[in-house]
Amino acid sequence: MSQDDRTPSTTGSPAPAPGTTAQAEPATPPRARPTDDLRTTEHTIGVGRRDLAYRATTGRMVVATEALDDGVFGGRKPFAEMSVTSYVVPTAAGQPERPVTFAFNGGPGSSSVWLHLGLLGPRRVLAGDAGSPVGPPYALADNPETLLSVSDLVFIDPVSTGWSRAVDGGKPGDQHGFTADVESVGELIRLWVTRHNRWLAPKLLLGESYGTVRASALAEHLQDRLAMYLNGVVLISSVIDYGASDLDYRNDRAYVDYLPTYAATAHQHGFHGRRSLAAVLREATEFAERDYPWALARGSRLTAGERRSTVKRLAALTGLSPAYVERADLRIEHIRYFTELLRDKGAAVGRLDSRFTGPLAAGNAEQWDSDPAMDAIVGAYASAFNHYVRTELDYESDLSYAVMADLHKSWSFKEFEGKPVDVTGALSRAMRANPHLLVHVAYGYHDGATPYWAAEDSFAHLDVPENLLANIEHHHYEAGHMMYVHEPSRVRQSSDLAAFVTRAVGR
């Protein structure tokens, strides 16, 4: 007979002494229900010839889900406190509702600080550029090109980025995945729209990098789950179909789609002489459209002459030696490319923006140890935001603001098991259901993280009728992933976005 079958054992806690009363274990106090933590301040900025007064609100909002426990409604149960910063321009009675744009970056694991202080917000960081980096301490300046001139702005930090955290006792990993992320950001948008009575306002989503995955899926999610239809979706540095640029497995399509970015990079670093960037890219895209995919598809059936011709052309376009291209079997992996191109100068090329360079840790390194583009700018953005939010937006928190959280390696894509992540179907569905939805796509020629030709390839394969293709506008910039780091591109992109918002809301 086991111990469990006997009468209670005397080997546990000792019995109380005669004449005394047993003391109960102290009960664990219940966790306090989380509450919103927000600060609001008033500001003015000069935009053109007018002064624009606006209200800034920053902090954390509690996001909850409606719980069902064994079929019984359990109320709204908080699962996260998400950091958000909004800028709203008050309107007088009788004036039309201003549009509101919900903006977020990507990663997965990136906060919204890049779009916030780099492009859209009323204040921006002076971070320098390739060839003219700015060292600490850093500075902020007014942004007269702010999108606030035509739209209210709401910047969202997904769970575990910025100051967004799971609630006390919650599991942050539950929110680190494709569907959970879409649902949490979607719920924050619904909550903000409802609390600010903006259901009749024109609404837009603006995402960058993985934020374009989120925005495409959100456009479908908001209309299918909440009947919240949008006026516009802005996709900056798009990666809506990983199959177009995923080099992690044998995927000839991705090698082809990276080629024009390699050609732009080679042009930037002097491998194409006095030829214009436009001429180089024209040659690269023509090769990528026809001869290059044909050569890769031939495999061992490629004749010796055809192979020599392909090697020669790839070497000329990319700036690599024919010997390297031959050893790579005509398939050039991007991190190895950024490590190899300027190896003889002891330098690596940036992935986020191939206009940037930095020293190699070792001359014979197979891959660089860090991205020179990220190294050049992340300090400025992090310092500027931590200063700005406390001294100008009057918000205090002892939490560390997670500019970049290391989530991409553990991010759950269980919905796409056995196939590349692809949200072209979600965006197509959103456009078919809402033929008024306009889409703005921004590409950086020097973007090695989400190559522009791969993105163009994805948009060329949307499942929408031909008449809806006119709802998509395309803009290219001679810069990288965050093209607004390049000052001429920032100014032009700001103008392009303002024009798009105006078009999308019909004003």
Same domain, 43 and 119: yes
- Alpha helix segments (H runs only) across 30-126: 113-115
The type of residue at 421 is V
Pull the structure tokens for residue 160: 């575990």
CA atoms within 13 A on the CB side of 236: 27
Q: Cα 26 vs. chain centroid, distance in angstroms?
A: 47
Same domain, 238 and 253: no
- Among 214, 228, 226, residue whose Cα is nearest residue 66: 226
Q: Using CA atoms, how far apart are residues 320 and 349, in angstroms rounded to an integer? A: 13
> Which phi-psi region, left, alpha or beta, contains residue 454 (left: φ > 0; alpha: ψ -120 to 50)?
alpha
pLDDT for position 17: 52
Digit-by-digit pLDDT tens for the chain (507 residues) are 433 333 334 344 445 555 555 555 666 666 778 898 999 999 999 998 899 999 999 999 999 988 777 777 777 889 999 999 999 999 888 888 999 999 999 999 999 999 999 999 999 999 999 999 899 999 999 999 999 999 999 999 999 999 999 999 889 999 999 999 999 999 999 999 999 999 999 999 999 999 999 999 999 999 999 999 999 999 999 999 998 888 776 689 999 999 999 999 999 999 999 999 999 999 999 999 999 999 999 999 999 999 999 999 999 999 999 999 999 999 999 999 999 999 999 999 999 999 999 999 998 888 899 999 999 999 999 999 999 999 999 999 999 999 999 898 899 999 998 888 999 999 999 999 999 999 999 999 999 999 999 999 999 999 999 999 999 999 999 999 999 999 999 999 999 999 999 999 986
pLDDT for position 437: 97
pLDDT for position 348: 96
Question: Do the domain assignments include residue 397?
Answer: yes
Burial (CB < 10 A; 0-12, 13-18, 19+), residue 146, is: buried
Cβ–Cβ < 8 Å for 264, 280: yes
Which CATH number do you get for residue 395?
A: 3.40.50.1820
The type of residue at 28 is T
Domain-ending residue, one of 323, 357, 374: 374
Q: Using CA atoms, how far apart are residues 39 and 85, in angstroms rounded to an integer? A: 9
β pairing state of 438-444 and 472-477: parallel
For 285, 337, 349, the CA distances from 376, given in Å and listed in that order, are 30, 20, 12
pLDDT for position 16: 52
Residue 329: count of CB within 10 angstroms of its CB? 12
Pull the structure tokens for residue 152: 């209210």
> Which phi-psi region, left, alpha or beta, contains residue 209 (left: φ > 0; alpha: ψ -120 to 50)?
left
Same domain, 128 and 236: yes
pLDDT for position 128: 92
pLDDT for position 28: 60
Question: Do the domain assignments include residue 30?
Answer: no
Q: Using CA atoms, how far apart are residues 131 and 259, in angstroms rounded to an integer? A: 24
pLDDT for position 143: 98
Same domain, 399 and 452: yes
β pairing state of 203-208 and 100-104: parallel
- Alpha helix segments (H runs only) across 328-480: 334-340, 372-391, 424-433, 452-459
| Enclosing domain of residue 75 | 38-243+380-504
Domain-ending residue, one of 344, 374, 404: 374
Which secondary-structure segment (H or E) carries 37?
strand 37-47
Same domain, 251 and 345: yes
CB-based burial, 274-298: b 16+ in 10 Å, e otherwise: eeeeeebbebbbebbeeebbebbee
Same domain, 406 and 351: no
Domain-ending residue, one of 323, 342, 374: 374
Same domain, 239 and 265: no
Pull the structure tokens for residue 249: 């497995």
> Which residue(s) pair with 207 in the sheet?
104, 235
Same domain, 238 and 213: yes
Give the gyration radius of the chain's Cα atoms: 26
- Among 39, 46, 59, 61, residue whose Cα is nearest residue 123: 46
- Among 465, 422, 414, 482, residue whose Cα is nearest residue 217: 422
Same domain, 198 and 118: yes
For 289, 292, 329, 330, the CA distances from 302, given in Å and listed in that order, are 18, 12, 12, 12
Question: Do the domain assignments include residue 55?
Answer: yes
For 192, 193, 263, the CA distances from 197, given in Å and listed in that order, are 8, 6, 49
